[in-house]
Amino acid sequence: MKQIKWIAFSSLLMVLMITQADAQKFPGIDPSPADIAYFRPDGRNADPVIKVIYGRPSKKGRTMLGGVEPYGKVWRTGANETTEIKLFKDVTFGDKLIKAGTYSLFTIPDKTEWTIIFNSKLDTWGAYTYDEKADVARIKVPAGKTDSEVETFSIMFDGTGDKAAMILAWENTLVRVPVKYTK
């Protein structure tokens, strides 16, 4: 009986030690967590037209646009890995038709205008290996103001049917990129 209790106690102790050791290997929560924005023009149950995967950095009291992220320089459009945009159909952004496929989404922010860049080089971290020769399209759009400050960089879609806008917002800046597709 003592031997069975000892074996049970030893087994429990070993499980606790292994569980504790494994839990120590996981990293903490990323300060700029990944997020996904979908454009589903006919509601949540509809097939998606566009999917954007991006990191969401926060201001944390800093000046981001024109500060940490300087104006006039290529930006990964988020944090960590370069933002990726998947088009399930051919889509027109602004006045540029972009074929269905997956692209990196870079931007060049400025006070009054942003350049939106679709680039064919995938799976990169940041904009450190950005290659202009891999650009598929560049679209210039005006930069506007938000109604209230946006603490964490955000991307969303607004609209239904075949016309919408991809909206990028951070701090007091809001950028609307017109989107059209053929059903």
Looking at residue 17, what is its pLDDT? 56
| Residue 17 included in any domain | no
- Number of domains within the chain: 1
Cα separation of 12 and 34, whole Å?
37
Looking at residue 88, what is its pLDDT? 97
Looking at residue 178, what is its pLDDT? 97
Looking at residue 162, what is its pLDDT? 81
| Residue 146 included in any domain | yes
| Residue 57, burial from CB neighbour count under 10 angstroms (0-12, 13-18, 19+) | buried
| Residue 22 included in any domain | no
| Residue 18 included in any domain | no
| Residue 105 included in any domain | yes
- 113 Cβ partners below 8 Å, 6+ apart? 140, 141, 142, 143
Quote the domain boundaries for residue 118: 28-181
Cα separation of 144 and 159, whole Å?
18
Per-residue pLDDT of the chain (183 residues; tens, 9 = 90+): 556 555 555 555 555 555 555 556 788 888 899 999 999 988 888 899 999 999 999 999 999 999 999 999 999 999 999 999 999 999 999 999 999 999 999 999 999 999 999 999 999 999 999 999 999 999 999 999 999 999 999 999 998 878 899 999 999 999 999 999 987
| Residue 136 included in any domain | yes
| Residue 139 included in any domain | yes
Looking at residue 42, what is its pLDDT? 84
How far apart, in Å, are the Cα atoms of 116 and each of 35, 70, 92, 148? 19, 15, 13, 23
| Residue 55 included in any domain | yes
CA atoms within 13 A on the CB side of 134: 14
Looking at residue 15, what is its pLDDT? 56
